[in-house]
């Protein structure tokens, strides 16, 4: 007979932390400590930590993201597994996109025991661009969050002179981390451009125009 105990965690949306319920499922009358799952949101490359008081066992099991509606699972890459902590990396995007998933684990060689907490995939966010005015070949730094573990694309957009729409010139990415990108400004005429960033999950435009000044 299964018993359920609910625990609270938090989720950040639009700059606010919101309470999100997480469910701990107990099997066979076994009482588990309520593990903490951090962070509660991220993207491909995010490392998730599950911490408890010693209920995971010392044999590596499985960790998944589970769509609560369809039951579809996305396996996480287990980095380490001890009785008190599991570390697992989000190595690929789930098919369902930006929804809330359960983080579940299954202990290998033991009775069926699953703890479920929530994790939400988030789109990349641009917090700052320094500088916003630069010449071709200059280095520009973008700071933000959820950029992803693998380099995506940075480009400068401008209106298509022949038909409605935008044209984009790719920029050379020098460095790409989860929170910071550096790129080189390509050779383009002076003017204002739309700074556009893509990763495997989403894309975003910087809120201000990026300017290439006239030559001095």
Report the number of distinct structural domains present in the chain. 2
Residue 113 pLDDT grade (very low, low, confident, very high; cuts 50, 70, 90) = low
Q: What are the beta bridge partners of residue 19?
A: 10
- Residues 181 and 137 grouped into a single domain: yes
CATH code at 168?
Answer: 2.60.40.10
- Residues 90 and 146 grouped into a single domain: no
Task: Indicate whether 17 pLDDT > 80.
Answer: no
- Residues 173 and 195 grouped into a single domain: yes
- Residues 46 and 73 grouped into a single domain: yes
- Residues 84 and 169 grouped into a single domain: no
Task: Indicate whether 134 pLDDT > 60.
Answer: yes
Maximum alpha-carbon separation in the chain: 78
- Residues 109 and 199 grouped into a single domain: no
Higher pLDDT, 160 or 94: 160
Distance CA 118, CA 101 (A): 5
Distance CA 38, CA 52 (A): 12
Q: Which of 104, 121, 138 represents a domain boundary (last residue)? A: 121
- Residues 63 and 136 grouped into a single domain: no
pLDDT value, residue 67 = 84
Q: Which of 77, 101, 121 represents a domain boundary (last residue)? A: 121
167-182: pLDDT as tens digits: 999 999 999 999 999 9
- Residues 61 and 156 grouped into a single domain: no
Averaged pLDDT, 21-30: 31
Token pair, residue 102, equals 């359960």
pTM summary value: 0.75
Query: Phi/psi class of residue 68: alpha, beta or left (left: φ > 0; alpha: ψ in -120 to 50)?
Result: alpha
Residue 19 pLDDT grade (very low, low, confident, very high; cuts 50, 70, 90) = very low
Range of the domain at 30: 3-121
Burial classification of residue 161, based on how many CB atoms lie within 10 Å of its CB (0-12 exposed, 13-18 middle, 19 or more buried): exposed
- Residues 201 and 149 grouped into a single domain: yes
pLDDT value, residue 151 = 94
CB 137 within 8 A of CB 184: yes
pLDDT value, residue 78 = 95
26-84: pLDDT as tens digits: 233 333 444 578 888 899 999 999 988 777 888 888 898 888 788 888 899 999 999 88
- Residues 39 and 72 grouped into a single domain: yes
Q: Which of 74, 101, 121 represents a domain boundary (last residue)? A: 121
- Residues 159 and 109 grouped into a single domain: no
- Residues 24 and 87 grouped into a single domain: yes
Token pair, residue 43, equals 């993207």
């Amino acid at each position: 007979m299964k018993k359920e105990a609910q625990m609270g965690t938090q989720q950040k949306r639009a700059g606010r932390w919101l309470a999100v319920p997480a469910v701990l499922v107990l099997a066979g009358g076994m009482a588990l400590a309520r593990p903490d799952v951090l962070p509660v949101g991220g993207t491909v490359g995010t490392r998730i930590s599950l911490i408890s008081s010693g209920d995971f066992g010392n044999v590596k099991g499985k960790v998944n993201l589970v769509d609560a509606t369809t039951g579809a699972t996305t396996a996480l890459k287990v980095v380490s597994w001890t009785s008190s902590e599991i570390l697992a990396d989000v190595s690929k995007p789930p098919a369902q996109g930006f929804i809330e998933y359960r983080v579940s684990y299954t202990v290998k060689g033991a009775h069926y025991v699953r703890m479920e907490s929530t994790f939400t995939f988030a789109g990349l966010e641009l917090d700052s661009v320094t500088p916003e005015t630069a010449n071709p070949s200059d280095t520009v730094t973008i700071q933000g969050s959820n950029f992803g573990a693998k380099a995506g694309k940075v480009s400068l957009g401008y209106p298509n002179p022949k038909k409605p729409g935008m044209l984009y010139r790719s920029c050379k990415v020098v460095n790409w981390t989860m929170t910071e990108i550096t790129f080189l400004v390509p050779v383009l005429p002076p003017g204002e451009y739309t700074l556009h960033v893509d990763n495997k999950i989403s894309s975003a435009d910087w809120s201000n125009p990026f300017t290439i000044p006239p030559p001095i």
